[in-house]
Structure 1
Amino acid sequence: MKLTFIRHGHMAGDPFICPERPVQGCLSEDYGILQAEATAEALKDEKFDIALSSPYGRALQTAEIVLAGRALDIRILPYLYEWMPNRELEKVPSTVFEEMQREAGEAYAEETWKTDMGEGYFDMCTRIIPPFLKELGKLGIHSRMGGFVPDEHAKELSVAVFGHGGSLGVLLNFLLSVRPFPVGSFSFAHTGTAMIQFAERKGIYYPQLIIPALHKISER
């Protein structure tokens, strides 16, 4: 089994838009589309059986470009959107908003589990992790005993997940048993890709982060 997490390319337009498909205008022409096309080329030999995506346009357009030419449907996960700011703050004067930003930026990380700026870390975990595990269960990959127990047909599945730095970071933290903390442990560049493979021990499959070599020299 393998999970491949792919962050969206450089965005353009409304960050909250959930567009109809095919998606246009959610990635910038000068960076975002080129990044997605380069990712498609880099992953052209990678087998994907399932594709999942955030509903936000920048993630979905990235998925469409990366998976172009493959006979693969893209399943939308409505909960896999990025950190949600407090939309009520759009109504306050800019000076008030800037002061709130300054105060949040000057606080110790331990003081920012939940602020007036928007979702807290555990809010995101609650929104994203349980339904994602349920989605894996539908695919035959069941969360059990600190790892995963796949149905026989799911042992060879390769799943591509297109999302955002924050939402994908929450999933990586959980899968790799990294302690929860307001400062993320993983930082995805635009179209940054993280691959999780599963190592089997007595019928339980445990997630492992793949860390590739930077060179192409094969061992003999």
Structure 2
Amino acid sequence: MKITFIRHGQMAGDPFVCPERPVRGCLSEAYGVLQAKATAEALKHKIYTHAFSSPYGRALQTAEIVLAGRDTDLRVLPFLYEWMPNRELEKLPSTVHEEMERQAGDAYAEETWKTELGEGYYDMCARIIPPFLKELGGLGVHGRMGGFVLEERARELSLAVFAHGGTLGVLLGFLLGVRPFPVSSFSFELTGVAELDFTERKGIAYPRLIIPALHSIQPN
């Protein structure tokens, strides 16, 4: 079993738009579309049996480009959207908003679990992790004893998840057992890719991050 996390390409337009498929205009033509096409080329030999995407257009358009020509089941999951700012702040004068951002930026990380700027880290975890685990359960992957129990049908599962840097950081941190903290331990560049495989011990599968070499020289 494998799970591959893929961040979207450079955005264009409304960051909150949830378009109908096929998606157009949510990635910039100058960079975003090219980034997604380059990712598709880099991953062309990878097999994905299932794919999940954020409903936001930049992630969904990236998924469509990367998965083009594949017979992969792509599902849009509404809870995979990015960190949600406090939309009420849009009604405030820009100077007030800027001052709030400055105060948050000047605070120690331990003081920013929750601010008036928007979702706190635990808010994101509660929104994303439980429904993600439910989706995995529907594919035959069940959280048990600090790892996962795989149904037979899930052993060859290869899942691609297209979303956002913060969202993917929450999921990756949870799966790898990284302590929750307002400052993420992971930074996904645009169209950055992180792959997890699962190794079994006594019937429990544990995720591990694959860290590739920067060259293709391998022993026979």
- TM-score tier, shorter chain, comes to over 0.9
Secondary structure, counterpart of 2:80 in structure 1: coil
Q: Structure 2 stretches of 5 or more lacking a match? A: none
One-letter code aligned to 2:108: Y
- The residue number in structure 2 matching 1:123 is 123
- The residue number in structure 2 matching 1:132 is 132
Output one character per residue of 1:36-55: Cα deviation in whole Å (capped at 9) or x when no partner. Answer: 00000000000100010000
One-letter code aligned to 2:192: G
How far apart are 1:219 and its partner, in Å? 1.3
One-letter code aligned to 1:35: Q
Instruction: Tell me the distance in 2 between the aligned counterparts of 1:92 and 1:101.
Output: 13
- The residue number in structure 1 matching 2:11 is 11
1:69 aligns with 2:48: no
1:164 aligns with 2:151: no
- The residue number in structure 2 matching 1:21 is 21
Output one character per residue of 1:102-137: Cα deviation in whole Å (capped at 9) or x when no partner. Answer: 001110000000000000000000000000000000
- The residue number in structure 2 matching 1:186 is 186
Secondary structure, counterpart of 2:135 in structure 1: helix
Instruction: Tell me the distance in 2 between the aligned counterparts of 1:73 and 1:105.
Output: 41
- The residue number in structure 2 matching 1:42 is 42
Instruction: Tell me the distance in 2 between the aligned counterparts of 1:117 and 1:104.
Output: 8
- The residue number in structure 2 matching 1:32 is 32
- The residue number in structure 2 matching 1:57 is 57
Secondary structure, counterpart of 1:79 in structure 2: helix
Instruction: Tell me the distance in 1 between the aligned counterparts of 2:51 and 2:125.
Output: 21
Q: Structure 1 stretches of 5 or more lacking a match? A: none
Instruction: Tell me the distance in 2 between the aligned counterparts of 1:18 and 1:68.
Output: 20
Percent of paired sites with the same residue = 75
User: What is the root-mean-square deviation of aligned Cα atoms in Å?
Assistant: 0.5
Output one character per residue of 1:172-192: Cα deviation in whole Å (capped at 9) or x when no partner. Answer: 000000000000000000000
**TM superposition outliers: structure 1 runs of 4+ over 4 Å:** none
Instruction: Tell me the distance in 1 between the aligned counterparts of 2:62 and 2:113.
Output: 30
How far apart are 1:73 and its partner, in Å? 2.8
One-letter code aligned to 2:47: K
Q: Number of residues paired by the alignment?
A: 220
How far apart are 1:74 and its partner, in Å? 1.2
Q: Is the 8 A contact 2:10 2:28 kept in 1?
A: yes
One-letter code aligned to 1:133: L
Instruction: Tell me the distance in 2 between the aligned counterparts of 1:154 and 1:94.
Output: 50
Instruction: Tell me the distance in 1 between the aligned counterparts of 2:74 and 2:59.
Output: 11
Q: Is the 8 A contact 2:53 2:163 kept in 1?
A: yes
Secondary structure, counterpart of 2:78 in structure 1: coil
Q: Is the 8 A contact 2:133 2:142 kept in 1?
A: yes
Normalising to structure 2: TM-score of the pair?
0.99
- The residue number in structure 1 matching 2:153 is 153
How far apart are 1:204 and its partner, in Å? 0.2
One-letter code aligned to 1:119: E
Instruction: Tell me the distance in 2 between the aligned counterparts of 1:83 and 1:136.
Output: 22
